[in-house]
Structure 1
Amino acid sequence: MSPTATGAAAGAVLALTWILVGFWAFVLVALAMLLGAAVGRVAEGRLDLRALADAFRGRRSSS
């Protein structure tokens, strides 16, 4: 699935959630989607949690 199609599907899910069950359900679904995307990136090896934690702590890396 292309990034454009994935984004369109995510937008449709969020819009329908907002319309059908309200704003707070929309926020909950959006947070769940973000968490799922982050877990997927970690599982694929495309997101390094150690480097991310170091960046939040203010440590810099030369690599």
Structure 2
Amino acid sequence: MSATTTGIAVGAVLGVVAVAFGFWAFVLVAVFIAVGALVGRIASGRLDVSSLVDVIRGRRSSS
């Protein structure tokens, strides 16, 4: 699946949720999508958790 296809699918899901259930359901689904993407990146090894924690704590910059 390309990034464009994935973006279209995520946008369609968020759009349907927003229309059917309202703003707060839209926000909740968006948060779940972001958490799922984060877990997927960690599971596939594309995200280094220790460096992410360092960036959040302000110990190291991302540049």
The aligned residue for residue 54 of structure 1 is: 54
- In structure 2, runs of 5+ residues without a counterpart are none
Per the alignment, residue 3 of structure 2 pairs with 3
Quote how far apart the aligned CAs of 1:55 are.
1.2
Return structure 1 stretches of 4+ with deviation > 3 angstroms.
none
User: What is the TM-score when the length of structure 2 is the normalising length?
Assistant: 0.90
**Separation of aligned partners in 2, 1:54 and 1:25:** 32
**Equivalent residue, structure 2, for 1:40:** 40
Q: Supply the distance in 2 between the matched residues of 1:18 and 1:55 (Cα, whole angstroms).
A: 32
Shift of 1:12: 0.3
**1:25 correspondence with 2:17:** no
Question: Please, which runs of 5 or more residues in structure 1 have no aligned partner?
Answer: none
